[in-house]
Structure 1
């Protein structure tokens, strides 16, 4: 009995050790760790024109100046410049031309425009916001200082129900405005063109591929002096623009014409070729007119809306062309 008891005890110990794995050299298969599914980055959303409420915008801007009376003499031409997106030149727009207030501001200088529909205003609505009008225009003439004025021209895409139906100007992310003002008949005049809107978010900028912006509109003004005379003409024309988002290179060609002061068919002026670059990680670009262009100058512009779907660029230039001293200023807006 004693011997059988010892044998059973040893057997039980062996079974116990075996159950503990003390003699088993096999290894258990580890449970795989689940790989977390990355949360997709949401595409940004953009506000669109026409406006649903009054709004204020920073702008890309180009500026020139001149001093004197262009109706009687050759004016003295000032400098020309362009500026990337900044708060120094900004504007406010409203949703109804008849009752809203429209503001242009550069540094500490400001002009406010509205028509006297229940408001204390002296502005005249020169061109209304209507579906057939590319722009709507306000002008204020000072009643106490001869030749003192302020005029603003807005691309007609910001006012609901009366926006332009011109196909090239049906833009919902970018717009433009120009601001022309003078201190007196013989005093200084200043002219600015601006581009503004809903800029493309940095993370939404394309990083590959070349995009040709095929629907572009250009407008501006040319101030020209020769002898004792001055001519100020609106500028129109055609534009091509190609942007290589992989390299950041921007190529633009502007074929410009001037519009006679008294109206009539545009008169061919010249072809300007420009090249610029988009800094890494940015949504704007700067550039200059290259050799062979009629005048020398600079450009500054940016991209607007989803995946840089729309563009806005301002430009200014200076020099002698056709025997005349000239200053050129304008803006290009458009879409893919």
Structure 2
């Protein structure tokens, strides 16, 4: 690991000033992803700006039913918060599914959104990777890709985003707030992550030097009856091979409102809007759920060794929506 400067800050303006003075600086939250990447040489910051003491560690419930979550809230605190569990249970479930207790105690909300892919080629500095070294190639396409993208990928990168939390946030129209030297700004999560295209090294739409300050979840009554389901290759802590965040409101047998997002299938949390549109007004049941999943997955372009994800995601979505519908009918 190369030598680096370390500075701790207690106010947002100070943090922005330190990062602005040094293009090779990085903000440090829990360090559960950044420090690992520094050890392998993927990240080589000249300075770490520790933001854990910034006043951004609160979760505030709005009277309208939404939530405001500070960027330095730990994943453990997020999952345990009573209003998160009551208003957005799928979010609490996603966080609990995402990591071990030790990691959740350190990892922050802002850092979770910015974590990098766990593709083995990205993490191996001896191998080419367009995300790490633009223009060097994507060996995963012809190599090991059984856990890679089936949606929204390109010939330049087929890696998937690893966040569980981000999938639930995507389902409920989260908005990311940030600060820059020029003032505050906001990005809907649907616009936060950039499409892969031919520039996979450009991952988010955050302005240069921006500091994430929080995430806002707008009111969503349907979210109170939601679930996050994750499939992984072992029962213990592991990254997903496929996941679904789902919420559904059924009235008189028909789908009145539904939210769906997929994880581990694209370079960003994948909002399943085609499936949502297909389901609105449909009679709730396995047949309609399967048709909606098929409509969403029509766009899938699997590689030779990850085509199983198409069937996996179809079955997963049908199962979760069926469970939610049957529970609501009891």
What TM-score range do you get, normalising by the shorter chain? under 0.3
Higher strand proportion: 1
Q: What TM-score results when the alignment is normalised by the length of structure 1? A: 0.22
TM-score, with structure 2 as normaliser: 0.23
Q: Which has the higher helix share?
A: 2
